[in-house]
Chain A
């Protein structure tokens, strides 16, 4: 697999400033700041419990940070917006989960049209047309009438990506999107993500797939114990990690992938 070319603009799409998040006495994020430019792909790596997933959930306020700011496309996220406005802003940020979290009682098509109709106010016809486009894009045009339980894990995750894209998000968050998949199904999901990157989508990807990071990510951020211990251009960080924690972590990952 070779490098996936994509265009990165100067404009900042996501800014996190001094994010802090604790659960009881456990510090999940300790003063995390990062910024992502439009069209940029950021790989987020780190051990389990290092704060990667918490960061993603703080960015779209699924789990509001205790303090700090999140700015998406120049506009502040936060409870101060009010519940309705926050929901609408949240819909601009697509999220893909490790466990897919498709709605099991809906068909594939229903999974894709529910939120566009309810949140974006699309008619059923418009939403269905958009959904069919996206299903074709992720290679599942023939599965729209199926239920999630009838699909493989890789197919379910592609539907989940399409479901997020149906909201026409400005940025996509991926929380270990291939970690729950059988090894032979990983590649079909990564390919969909490669295409997305090539189309200029801004992406924050929590992942252990180092080959994917190498091919697609512009930058890598390494988390340890709720802090960013290292960040930089992918090639540099992979070739020559500076921090002892990222050295140890990347060595372990690169050996297995």
Chain B
């Protein structure tokens, strides 16, 4: 492959990974925007989501790489897998908020953030103890259609990942911009007390942020499985930290920022792996995290956290 073809190929790969990071980064940003809380349990909501996706596909009779579907059955299976995974993950996020974070709502300091780390490890260990430490094959019911673009290969899988991610992100964007509850979310992020005095029920806004963020993380978990053809109890931390970096890079609290930050991190990962060395990927990504935090803590696109007056 020529350098140009490699560049093209890694752009394709990077966009798919980036879409996954973007979906995951949105959960960090939605919750941070409203509660100023970094929710580390989000890492493993994503991981649990990928297992729920696996089990849903298996329940639908898709096991291993041997079952290939086309046409309507394929669309049906994918829709069902995404729907079940997203609803389950969303409810998991809501349960985490309700059980472990709401009682700490008015506690100052890092108690809530530390609790999210604890919840993250609980999820991690539940999956480890029930499913086991070995990675699981993730079935992929897509036909292996390949398109040649120059010297690069574009698989049907990538197109699916892009389309699904775009639809979900566009949906979220429209929800936040246009719906009544979405506007209440933005208002709460900008001035929680004023929003409350407009009659916004802040608990509902928080539940919505956790549900949507966690549902998107679930979709990200399914995409992880489709992309890497496996899942494991351990996938949450690396992907989660990279997505968190994406959220910070885009400006944590900023919804479009998280989307763009995610795509950038995906591209940096694939390009760094191709042109520097895969082993250095995390060094590069987390150096970006440190540099952004030191030199531009509001990220590329500015933060949408409450204005302190």
On whether the two chains bind one another, the answer is no
